[in-house]
Chain A
Amino acid sequence: MIDALSNRSGWVGPWTLLKKELLRFWRVSFQTVAAPVITALLYLLIFSHVLDKHVQVYDGVAYTEFLIPGLIMMSVLQNAFANSSSSLIQSKVMGNIVFVLLTPLTHLQFFMAFLIAAVIRGLVVGLCIYLVAMWFVDLTVANPWMIIAFGLLGSALLGTFGIIAGIWADRFDQMAAFQNFIIMPLSFLSGVFYSIHSLPPFWQKISHLNPFFYMIDGFRYGFFGKGDVSPVLSLLIVGASFLVLALITLKMLKSGYKLRS
Chain B
Amino acid sequence: MNHPAIHIQGVHKNFGALHALNGIDLAIEQGEFFALLGPNGAGKSTLINILAGLIAPTAGSISVMGFDVQKQYQQARQLLGVVPQELVFDPFFNVREMLRFQAGYFGLGRENDAWVDEVLEGLGLADKAHTNMRKLSGGMKRRALIAQALAHKPPVIVLDEPTAGVDVELRQMLWEFIKKLNRDGHTIILTTHYLEEAETLCSRVGMMKQGKVVALDSTANLLNKFSGKHLRLTLGDVRLPHDVERLVRHAENGIYTFALTDMIQIEFVLSSLRASGIKVIDMQLNEADLEDVFLSLVGNVAVEQPLMANHHE
Contacts and interface: CB of A to CB of B under 8 A. Distances in A.
Interface of A: 1-2, 4-5, 7-10, 12-13, 15-17, 19-20, 23-24, 27-28, 91, 94-96, 98-106, 256, 260-261
Given A2-B155, A5-B78, A104-B77, A12 B104 contact: yes
Nearest to B87: A95
Interface of B: 1, 30, 52-56, 65, 73-75, 77-80, 82, 84, 86, 88-93, 98, 101-102, 104-109, 148-149, 152-155, 185-186
B73 to A, nearest CB: 7
B88 A260 contact: no
A94 B53 contact: no
Given A16-B101, A102-B53, A94 B77 contact: no
Nearest to B103: A16
Contact of B77 (A16, A28, A103): A103
Nearest to B3: A2
A13 to B, nearest CB: 5
Count chain A CB atoms within 10 A of each CB in B30, B88, B148, B149 and give the residue with the most: B88
Given A4-B78, A12-B107, A256-B56, 5 more contacts: A8-B108, A15-B104, A95-B86, A102-B149, A261-B55
Given A17-B105, A99-B102, A8 B92 contact: no
B82 A102 contact: yes
Contacts of A16: 101, 104-105
A20 B101 contact: yes
Contact of B106 (A8, A19, A96, A261): A8
A94 B88 contact: yes
B107 A9 contact: yes
A13 B105 contact: yes
B89 A12 contact: no
9 A-B pairs with least C-beta separation = A8-B107, A16-B104, A95-B88, A103-B105, A1-B155, A104-B74, A96-B90, A104-B77, A12-B107
8 contacts: A5-B79, A9-B109, A16-B101, A94-B91, A99-B148, A101-B54, A103-B105, A260-B56
A94 B104 contact: no
B88 A4 contact: no
